[in-house]
Structure 1
Amino acid sequence: MFPLILLYVVLTIVRPQDYMPALVGVPVLSVVLVLAFASWLASSAKTFAAPQFVILPIFLVVLMISTAVNGWFGGALDQLQKFGPVVIAFFVFAAACTQPRRLLISMAVIVLCSAVLAVHGIQQARTGIGWTGTPIGEDGRIQYVGIFNDPNDLGLLFAAALPMSVLLSRHGGFLGRLFWLGCSALLLYGVYLTNSRGALLAVLMVAGVYLWRRRGAVIAGTLAAAGLAGMKLLSSRMQELDAGEESASGRVDAWYTGMHLFTSHPIFGVGAGNFTEYNDLTAHNSFVLVLAETGFVGYALWLAFVCYSFWMMLTLLRYAPAEAGDPIQPVQLRRERAIALTLLLSLCGLFTAAFFLSRSYTVVMYLIIAMVTGHYVGARQRLPDLRGFTLGKEWWRWVPAAMGSIVGLFVLVAVLLKTSG
């Protein structure tokens, strides 16, 4: 199971099936996922000990219902075909990532694959075209193939992989440290070449949260402000970070459209994948996209899925073993916390970028949350007093949480509209 799901991760990120003539048209990604799923079904490592395992299949059903209630019954099957593999990948990868060693291997695979894409981007920047045959964008921003043909998606991947690379640099002695720090530098340079404002802000968020955890809020805030000023000097697009700038204004208008679509279709939304039927641009915000397309029902589920992941890593970071009778060793506890902090930072980078992008259903997000879920499930087996999460007892929390966040989105859009006007 584990080798197969790792191969799936490699194929998902590096995507040789999209540019190698021998693989083009061959459903290699689907075949590998089916084999991994079959191995998962036959494995004793299957686990359902986290709310995400309940939420995600229900969210898939809501995606299907959202298209059906808007008059396209065939859309239910379409959503099953599109999002069903993401659900399967989540279940298999989460079950494979319950042990620290496997988590570190998974992180190494993600970092190495991301570094390959960064090297491809460097080749593009120097020669105008990468080995995939993909040219650099007309605006000078690097891009890849498949799901990473948008520079913003590349930047999102690099920002999420960066904390993993830094954690890996603490293992393997001097040469290992040098290698993984080199990968970190590649990822940072890759973010720079994407010139993605969302990715740059994601890197800043990752650094800020790390400093906040280590040095406190004052130092983190001060250095974050300095970092933002530095990024504005490095990136021409960061200099245009203003609600009145054309690209940002288009995003705000899309967010306004999304909120309007929610008020007109509050229960199940306008249907998954239908946002661009009502607006020329996509929502450019993963939260607004889910809200508009799946309504309150889908949004509450998706929000719970995301927030549980943050909650789990924060709970693990705050875990204190009982004074007596707890067999946990300090070295083991430090390892558990180090992995939890790394995954928390990856989540922060991922969702900072996702706040400015419509990436609510893309597989990369769910693979990283699968690592988070797997780590917490495994940690509960190793740490006797670590609390569990049960959706049956906690579901009611997500109703007011969803309501509150929706109000927050309305206020944010109203303020930005007034500012941009």
Structure 2
Amino acid sequence: MAFFFTLLYMLTAFVSPPVLFGDLHVYHVEIIISLLAIVTSLPAVGPSRLLQRPQTWAIFTLWIVITISLMLNTSMREGAAEFYAFLPVVFGYFLTALNCKTKRHFQLIILALFLGALYFIVHGYLDLTANVSPSLYLYGEGTLRRLRGLGLVNDPNDFSQVVVSLIPCVFLFRQRSTFLNIFTIGLPVACLLTGLFLAHSRGAGVGLMAIVILSARRRIGTIPAIIVAGTLFAGSLAFGWSGGRDVSVEAGADRLDAWVMGIEFIKTHPLLGIGHDRFGELNYITAHNSIMQCAAEDGFLGFSCWVMFLFVSIRTTVRLGTATPATEESGQPMAAAPASPKDAWAMMLARSKQTEAIPGMAVPSGPAVIVPGWGTAELADGSAGGAPEIQGIAKLLLLALTGFLTAGWFLSRALSPWMFMYGGMILALQNMAERRNIFLTKDPLPFILRCSILIALGLLALVYLTLKVRSKMGQ
């Protein structure tokens, strides 16, 4: 039941309550769904050790920081309103982290988001061809009309950022049959690419290029992957991906000017920032860069929490992508030394009863079955049945997060709930792995804090160097 309400909440948040519930949305159905999802998920908090995870500490601290920042920079009322507005971010993380327990759960969430995206794509295309103006699903007037969604994705860039991250997730539905993959992968990816083209988001195009590079580099090498991605990107621009807008430093001069203003905001409000979502109020345009937006609005303290969440999430996916069962990453056995000969004999009997779902790979005892069409072994409880499946999901989530963050370099979407949803899915995957005897070495908190602060400083230095280079070039 908890996963059902989680799935319903994610779908409602993506397509918006009016689309899903019609006239009933005036009764705030989304709040009722979120409360039901939270209440039914509470029993899973303890077993999941969610409150012990560094990602959870980061998101809670960020929540407090942005609330205090707005209270100090504006008013208590604005701070309280932002505290409430941050709830979709918290729900997206907690609900997926607690309730995604099998590969099927991941697939259903991605399927729900895909169907929501397809709804917007179809309606936007029909309104564009029929020249409907104004249209709920199109942004802009005249020659450049861009596809968008509703609710939390009512901006073409918001919509495109989610869509570009969904493309690698579609490969969760990969089948053994090439013919079936045409319908489970080929057609959905074609639909999503069509939506990206109609949205004309240049940032999403760069994010898609990053996904291509990261996914192809292991097969053809880094340099060939960059060449292929660059060729595809140039070809897409030639076919009108950007909607006729230029992709150059000159075309983004106003955005770089916003970065300069962001540096000034950081100098004047270094610790807690100017207040969340106030960049566009104090400057003629918003930051158009998630790093600059977060650092300027939430200060270095909030920005460090944001970096910490991403650092731990990405590090977890990378390590899960190569982790193996029943061993630490060092390859040492996880089994503890027996306390007595009797305990040693019991451990030997337990090992002798284990089955092997994959040759050379021991899994916990119990009936194992092969689910037709899913392509992987699963245990009777529906949990992931082996390291290859865990590794595969981890690599796809890494690609999704890479595309999302790369697009975010050109967009002011630091606190997008979908990014934190992926963080929750990564934590859920780690819990799935631990149930299959795949453990990761726990990083000490001082190490995580030190790395997060250094990365945060490095990202700000990268933005500053970009501005200095632009200044030297006379742009």
Q: Same fold (TM over 0.5)?
A: yes
Deviating more after overlay: 51-60 vs 138-147: 138-147
The alpha-carbon distance between structure 1 residues 417 and 166, as it changes in their structure 2 partners (threshold 3 A), is farther
Counterpart position of 1:88: 91
Task: State the match for 1:187 in structure 2.
Answer: 192
Q: Please state if 1:313 is matched with 2:317.
A: yes
In structure 2, distance between residues paired with 1:150 and 1:184: 21
**Aligned partners of 1:409, 1:375: CA distance in 2, in Å?**
33
Amino acid in the other structure paired with 1:304: M
**Judging changes above 3 Å, is the alpha-carbon distance between structure 1 residues 182 and 420 closer, same or farther for their aligned structure 2 residues?**
farther
Are 1:95 and 1:374, in contact at CA under 8 Å, matched by a contact in 2? yes
Partner Cα distance (2:140, 2:230) in 1: 30
In 2, distance between residues paired with 1:393 and 1:236? Answer: 42
The range that moved more, 328-337 or 255-264, is 328-337
Question: What TM-score, normalized to structure 2?
Answer: 0.81
Residues 41-84 of structure 1 deviation map (CA, whole Å, 9 limit, x = unaligned): 24465541531111101110001111123242222211211003
TM superposition shift of 1:410: 0.9
1:340-381 C-alpha deviation (Å, 9 max, x unpaired):
111011001101111111111222221122112211232233
Amino acid at match of 1:300: S
Match of 2:425 in 1: 371
Structure 1 pair 306–318 and aligned structure 2 pair: CA distance change class (3 A):
same
- What does residue range 134-173 of structure 1 map to in structure 2 within 5 Å? 134-135=137-138, 137-138=140-141, 139-170=144-175
Structure 1 pair 370–78 and aligned structure 2 pair: CA distance change class (3 A): same
Q: Name the CA shift for 1:390/1:234 in 2 (closer, same or farther; >3 Å).
A: farther
The equivalent position to 2:299 in structure 1, one of 276, 295, 298, is 295
Q: 1:171/1:308 Cα in 2 relative to 1: closer, same or farther (>3 Å)? A: farther
1:382 equivalent among 436, 443, 446: 436
Residue aligned with 2:149, SS: coil
CA distance in 2 between counterparts of 1:177 and 1:388 reads 41
Pair 225,278 (structure 1): closer, same or farther in 2 beyond 3 Å: same
One-letter identity of the residue aligned with 1:339: I
One-letter code aligned to 2:267 = T
Task: Say what the alpha-carbon RMSD is for the aligned residues.
Answer: 2.6
Deviations 1:230-280 (A, max 9, x none): 1221226376111112xx111111111111100111111111122123201
User: Structure 1 residues 205, 124: closer, same or farther in 2, change over 3 A?
Assistant: farther
Verify the 8 A CA contact 1:45 1:95 in the aligned structure 2: no
Question: How far off is 1:125 after superposition?
Answer: 2.7
Deviation of 1:220 (Å): 0.9
* Cα distance change on mapping 1:270 and 1:126 into 2, 3 Å: same
Structure with larger Rg: 2
* Structure 1 unaligned regions, length at least 5: none
Match of 2:114 among 101, 107, 111: 111
Query: Given residue 250 of structure 1, which amino acid in structure 2 is its aligned partner?
Result: D
CA offset at residue 9 of structure 1?
0.8
CA contact (8 A) 2:324 2:387 kept: no
Match of 1:354 among 408, 414, 426: 408
How many angstroms apart in 1 are the aligned matches of 2:332 and 2:448?
A: 30
- Paired with 1:324 and 1:262, the residues of 2 have a C-alpha distance of 46
Q: Which amino acid aligns with 2:123?
A: H
Q: Which structure shows the bigger proportion of residues in helix conformation? A: 1
Alignment TM-score, normalising by the size of structure 1: 0.91
CA deviations on 1:100-145 (whole Å, 9 max, x unpaired) are 2322222222222222222223223322349985455312211222
Equivalences, count = 419
The answer as to 2:261 corresponding to 1:257 is yes
Return 385-394 or 178-187, whichever deviates more: 385-394
User: 1:240 matched to which residue of 2?
Assistant: 246
Q: Answer whether contact 2:387 2:438 (CA < 8 A) is retained.
A: no
**Cα gap change, 1:21/1:68 in structure 2, threshold over 3 Å: closer, same or farther?**
same
- Kindly provide the amino acid, as one letter, of the partner of residue 303 in structure 1: V
